[in-house]
Amino acid sequence: MTEPASRRLVVPMRPRSPGEEHRAATPLELFFDLVFVVAIAQAATGLHHGVAEAHVGEALLGYAMVFFAIWWAWMNFTWFASAYDPDDVAYRLAVFVQLTGALILAAGVPDAFAEQDWRVVAVGYVVMRLALVGQWLRAAHSDPERAAGARRYAIGIALVQAAWIWFAFGPVDERWGVPLFVALVACELLVPAWAERHATTPWHPGHMAERYGLMTIIVLGESILAATVALEAATAAEGLTPALAEIIAGGLLIVFSTWWLYFHRPVERLLEDAPLWRVFTWGYGHYFVYAAGAAVGAGIAVATDQITAHATIGAFGAQMAVAAPVALFLFVLWLLHEFQHPAVPTRATGPVATVLVLLTPFTGHAVLATGGILAALLAWKLRTGQTT
């Protein structure tokens, strides 16, 4: 009887078959996602408090920057693990190092929002990324056919991490902070394109659809958690008022409908035999899906704070804090699951619903109205038999 890989220190890191049947997320991958919950919660909390205090621009910028670090580290591991997953002791220990980096990053989020101090976030991010460099070097050693591409990944990631350290600890003028951040993000995004041009990694379409779906559930769960905490505090202080009951009803409609809309179409079919540019668009586009999904809960918390007089922001701004992320979620989902796929009939329901959601703050009842629009959109899709 062959000894399980998890009991062996090192085994060859062979590529997994893209056509493997019953390819499901492993317990280690699920644990990996669970640790990222902490970082996402910290980012959403920072966004909530910043917007509630009417520091909207600073809060949105900080949230976008922090969420990129979270999402990019998660995404890179996810695609790597779909192609290479020996599950030996060395692999598990390397993943634990990445998880440690995620916790370090989460610990630095409050300072990043409050003081614009990115040092701890950068350390956690670099720990996660350098651990992945070691994984790519292992893949290069064990998979000669794709060794050049794996080495490109390792070289590209390592070089960009050196730049991130300089960004966080070097003498960078504040005026150049955001442009430099954007430039480094561009470098990060270009590394996979540069590496995959030489040799495509053997990722599994069904496995990737499941992994992205699991992260969608996590960010929507964060929304439920953030909204629940805010509503619990509000009802404890003032009881269940009609205004709070309206937010609860609307919030539930929003979260339930966004979940259903995302999983309404089998995503695996969108990835099978898709050209590389479409796969990149789908994978990268989920940054906005995830960031918007987690921001919905922060927006509901802001709306709750505003009606209970615990926020500086006005009523219109508080309601837009709900409508804007929902609209972004809807529109990007339409782009990724319908518009860019010629085999899928393109309808204007996504953009129309997006515009309607953005108009809901003018009604004075944005949360409930947004929930009603999403529920109506879902009902229409179900009635007409749309699969996207």
| Whether residue 232 is found in the same domain as residue 214 | yes
Q: Which residue has the higher pLDDT, 231 or 305?
A: 305
pLDDT for 388 beyond 50: no
Does some domain include residue 7?
no
pLDDT tens digits for 182-210?
999 999 999 999 999 877 899 999 999 99
| Whether residue 170 is found in the same domain as residue 272 | no
| Whether residue 222 is found in the same domain as residue 319 | yes
Rounded Cα distance, 161 and 73, in Å: 12
| Whether residue 247 is found in the same domain as residue 109 | no
| Whether residue 263 is found in the same domain as residue 344 | yes
| Whether residue 332 is found in the same domain as residue 218 | yes
Does some domain include residue 2?
no
Does some domain include residue 19?
no
What number is the average pLDDT over the span 4-26? 82
What number is the average pLDDT over the span 83-101? 93
Q: Which pLDDT score is estimated for 1?
A: 44
| Whether residue 323 is found in the same domain as residue 216 | yes
Does some domain include residue 226?
yes
Does some domain include residue 164?
yes
What number is the average pLDDT over the span 318-342? 89
16-to-12, 192, 204 alpha-carbon distances in Å: 12, 19, 8
Rounded Cα distance, 49 and 47, in Å: 6
pLDDT for 2 beyond 90: no
Burial of 306 from C-beta contacts in 10 A (0-12 / 13-18 / 19+): buried
Indicate the residue among 145, 179, 196 that finishes a domain.
196
Range of 217's domain? 205-384
Instruction: Look up the CATH number of the domain holding residue 297.
Output: 1.20.1410
Confidence of residue 173 (pLDDT cuts 50, 70, 90): confident
| Whether residue 168 is found in the same domain as residue 56 | yes
pLDDT tens digits for 128-146?
999 999 999 999 999 999 9
pLDDT tens digits for 151-165?
999 999 999 999 999
Work out how many domains the chain is built from and give that number: 2
pLDDT for 385 beyond 70: no
pLDDT for 344 beyond 70: no
Place of tokens 């350098």: 130
Min mean pLDDT across 16-25, 129-138, 313-322, 349-358 is at 16-25
pLDDT tens digits for 251-274?
999 999 999 999 987 777 788 877
Confidence of residue 342 (pLDDT cuts 50, 70, 90): low
| Whether residue 375 is found in the same domain as residue 310 | yes
With b for 16 or more beta-carbon neighbours within 10 A and e for fewer, the 93-126 pattern comes to: ebbeebbebbbbbbbbbeebbeeeebebbbbbbb
Task: Output the average pLDDT for the chain.
Answer: 89
Q: Which pLDDT score is estimated for 7?
A: 67
Indicate the residue among 196, 224, 245 that finishes a domain.
196
Indicate the residue among 196, 215, 246 that finishes a domain.
196
Percent of residues, the chain, with pLDDT higher than 70: 95
Confidence of residue 5 (pLDDT cuts 50, 70, 90): low
| Whether residue 270 is found in the same domain as residue 186 | no
Q: Which pLDDT score is estimated for 134?
A: 94
| Whether residue 183 is found in the same domain as residue 74 | yes
Dmax over CA atoms of the chain, in Å, equals 68
CA 20 and chain centroid, separation? 26
What number is the average pLDDT over the span 347-366? 92
| Whether residue 241 is found in the same domain as residue 271 | yes
Confidence of residue 116 (pLDDT cuts 50, 70, 90): confident
Report the run of H or E that residue 34 belongs to, with start and end: helix 27-52
Rounded Cα distance, 140 and 380, in Å: 49
pLDDT for 24 beyond 50: yes
Does some domain include residue 111?
yes
